[in-house]
Amino acid sequence: MKRRRFIQSALVTGASAASLPAAALPPAAGKKKQEYYELRIYTFKNPEQQQLTERYFAQAAIPALNRLGAKQVGVFTELQPTGQTKLYVVIPFPSLDDFTSMDFNLAKDITFQQAASDYLSAPADAPAYERIQSSLLKSFTEMPHLVAPPMKERIFELRRYESPTEYAGKKKIEMFNEGGEIEIFKKTGLTPVFFGESLIGEARPNLTYMITFDNMEAHDRNWKTFGSDPEWKKVASLPEYADKLIISRITKTFLQPTNYSQI
């Protein structure tokens, strides 16, 4: 309960800046309920740690999360790692309560506890990972639910846009929602999986989204199509949406799904 009160308080505080744009306002009546995402990044020092953590997700965590209602859990490795790959995990939750009650419910799940025993009981001198970096995201109003692409060979691009101020961050989200950028993504082949505003995590204010392509050639071609799209040029030319005002840093990571990923 303490964890839940803290998170809910943090969400209220994060949204309380004065004079925020339309993106900061509650969704209009008739809009679908927005879901939440936990984005985890696991770092490892050796292949043994990675193998143990991957077994944990494949055999214990994903089945248990599915039983709790967290469907379509995505687990990815880096497409072009520098050294030992990181493991990227996307867990969707229908509501904030589903997220805050996850640990409690997993602790009661005997099947999960047994399947996860090697991971959960890893000794201090041989841990299952070096560190977990975790962020809580809230989906955008114009894409309130994660959309998993067809299960075939493909690559994914994870992008994070950091903004200089909270107001600027809300303006970029407004650009995706009310400005129509999400729809332009879809029509130009930048197939979105999810869009999320970072509510809790590092480098705030920021938003994170994931898009997918058949291969790197399609990635390059479709980004070029997007950049030359007349609707995109019109939106991007609006002074209030100038990159120099609302984006301070862009981080992109290319990922490939593990063979047990549900995305």
Q: How many domains does the chain have?
A: 1
Q: What is the pLDDT along the chain (263 residues), one digit of tens a residue?
A: 445 554 554 454 444 444 557 666 555 555 779 999 999 999 999 999 999 999 999 999 999 999 999 999 999 999 999 999 999 999 999 999 999 999 999 999 999 999 999 999 999 999 999 999 999 999 999 999 999 999 999 999 999 999 999 999 999 999 999 999 999 999 999 999 999 999 999 999 999 999 999 999 999 999 999 999 999 999 999 999 999 999 999 999 999 999 999 99
Whether 18 maps to a domain, the answer reads: no
Residue 231 lies in a domain: yes
pTM: 0.89
CATH code where residue 176 lies: 3.30.70.100
**How far is Cα 106 from Cα 70, in angstroms, rounded to an integer?**
12
Please tell me the predicted confidence (pLDDT) of residue 19: 55
User: What was the pLDDT predicted at 15?
Assistant: 44
Does residue 205 have a cis bond before it (omega within 30 degrees)?
A: yes
What pLDDT score does 30 carry? 58
In a domain, 11, yes or no: no
Report the C-alpha gap between 197 and 239 in whole angstroms.
22
In a domain, residue 43? The reply is yes
Q: Is 119 within a domain?
A: yes
Domain boundaries, position 235: 33-257
